[in-house]
Structure 1
Amino acid sequence: MNFDHYKLLDFTRDGRVLTITMNRPELLNAVNHELHQEMAKAFFDAADDMDSDIIVLTGAGRAFSAGGDFEWLGKQVRGDRTPFVHEAKTMRRIVMGLLDCPKPIIAKVNGDAMGFGASVALLCDIVIAADHANFADPHVRLGLVAGDGGALIWPQLIGFAKAKHYLLTGDAINAVDAERMNLISFVVPAGELDAFVEKYAQKLARGAQSAIRYTKSVTNIALRQLFSSVFEAGVAYEGLTLATSDFNEAVNAVMEKRRPQFTGE
């Protein structure tokens, strides 16, 4: 598989391990339209790649992904947006790509994973984070529904009581506490992250690949069933909140470096 056509994702190999790196470090790997589109194809292409068995997903620089790019969000506020039906299709393909990819996907969370970044990380099969990383889904702080996967995956990992707290407030959780609550698989000192992930990925690569892939597929049956109901509703509701005054106010408040004044409209 040739990945040269990707612009914002880098692909590197170490034996049978394929690493996908979100590469917008100057913007903390915030997701714009172009990266959104590339993410929607990447996991399908990685699944078809004959030269790899294990996938590692990470971010360049000091963050995994800071979530949505505010320049992109600002354009949406000004009405400069593609029809939401197209963005909804992209969102579906990203989550489907993660859940349906037969190969194990390891999220190497090298820094903060926020919003979309948190959803993508938590939908991976194994989540290994540096101890300074934070996870949050602050969609509500932008007047948006957590429709890109947060409402799907957080309750499955930590239960509804805790998940509702983090989804309804947008509060962040440190990686150490995230591991304790079973939100993520492992937390390690930042200086040990690369070595830990490499060792873990190679351990999986030495395993019986057919058995590993079928086991992932079976384990994800429940998530795929939820995907067809919870995720579809989440995408639809997020589309509705894009048209609210609160969304406009939240984005403008961030741009103007002030606290938003929500009206519920």
Structure 2
Amino acid sequence: MYDYETILCDVADDSVATLTLNRPASLNAISRLMADEMTDALARLAAEASLRVLILRGAGEAFCAGGDVRDMASQGTRSSTEALDSMARYRRMTLALHGFQRPVIAAVDGVAFGAGMSLVLLADLVLLSERARLCLVFQRVGLSPDCAALYTLPRLVGLQQAKALALSAREIGAIEAQAMGLALEVLPWQKLYERANQLATAVAKGSPAALSLTKQALDASLQSDLPTMLAMEAAAQAIALTSEDHRAAVRAFVRKEGNRYVWPARSD
């Protein structure tokens, strides 16, 4: 759909988009150009009124090996001010993905290391292949986690476990990641993208207003109190109740025509 050098961005049936990190020779490491292209692609997709769900994946047999260390080395010695300025592009990419108002499904095969794992943590639903490996590798190269990992990880696994993963730079496999709450499902690698598309197709049948409002409210919940969340729920329902998607679903219910929004069971 859009023409980029380091990513692929396709939209199927106007409702499901797939954003593929496309540097397989470097295990889809995030270069400066890739960060900029992802930010641009996410902004364009956000403007697509008919889009309802996004799949995030990597080309080849890896999701993402993290930041491109060779790209970092090519920049030479930098002052802390210059380094801070250079992080702005990665902050823009992170905010674009975190703030994406449609559900994001990450389909992860192979390595998701460093910033690659950070991207996984930003997704709403995570599917891992059995051969997926996750690691906050930053300590191995003398860096601190970025791309919001220090924000997302404690909220997913708890503070002590987050500290252990970040400080140890320990690699975890798919089953352990799922047990920690980092993944929804673990699948044979041959079934990974089929399952991601199956879930995306199911989600895409939902109301775009209800999907977006639900995601935004849940994202806000851990920083909010009960009165705030009750107010957000009421506002979301007031919007959703006026939508044609809600009226159509009610008509189908009354006529006993069945529910078109059905979560698909796994077949493997």
Give 1:167 shift.
0.2
Q: 1:107 corresponds to which residue?
A: 106
Q: 2:5 corresponds to which residue?
A: 7
TM-score (norm 2): 0.78
Structure 1 gaps, min length 5:
226-265
CA distances 1:164-188 after superposition (whole Å, capped 9, x unpaired): 1110011111011101110122111
Give 1:14 shift.
2.2
- Asked if structure 2 preserves the Cα contact closer than 8 Å seen for 1:110 and 1:130, the reply is yes
CA distance in 2, matches of 1:61, 1:82: 36
Give 1:61 shift.
0.3
CA distance in 2, matches of 1:47, 1:134: 30
CA distances 1:132-173 after superposition (whole Å, capped 9, x unpaired): 001111111111111322211111111111111110011111
Amino acid at match of 1:191: Q
Structure 1 pair 161–80 and aligned structure 2 pair: CA distance change class (3 A):
closer
Structure 1 pair 224–51 and aligned structure 2 pair: CA distance change class (3 A):
farther
Amino acid at match of 2:105: I
Q: 2:96 corresponds to which residue?
A: 97
- Using the aligned pairs only, state the percent identity: 30
Give 1:78 shift.
4.1
Work out which of the two has the higher radius of gyration on C-alpha atoms and give 1 or 2: 2
Runs of 4 or more consecutive aligned structure 1 residues displaced over 6 Å after TM superposition: none
> Partner of 2:98: helix, strand, or coil?
helix
CA distance in 2, matches of 1:40, 1:223: 26
Structure 1 pair 68–80 and aligned structure 2 pair: CA distance change class (3 A):
farther
CA distance in 2, matches of 1:137, 1:76: 23
Structure 1 pair 30–169 and aligned structure 2 pair: CA distance change class (3 A):
same
CA distances 1:71-129 after superposition (whole Å, capped 9, x unpaired): 11212444499933433322221221122111111111122101111001110111111
> Partner of 1:220: helix, strand, or coil?
helix
Q: 2:206 corresponds to which residue?
A: 207
Q: 1:190 corresponds to which residue?
A: 189
Q: 2:159 corresponds to which residue?
A: 160
Higher relative contact order (CA 8 A, sep 6+): 1
Cα RMSD after superposing both structures? 2.1
CA distance in 2, matches of 1:31, 1:216: 26
Please state if 1:134 is matched with 2:133.
yes
Q: 2:243 corresponds to which residue?
A: none
- Asked if structure 2 preserves the Cα contact closer than 8 Å seen for 1:99 and 1:224, the reply is no
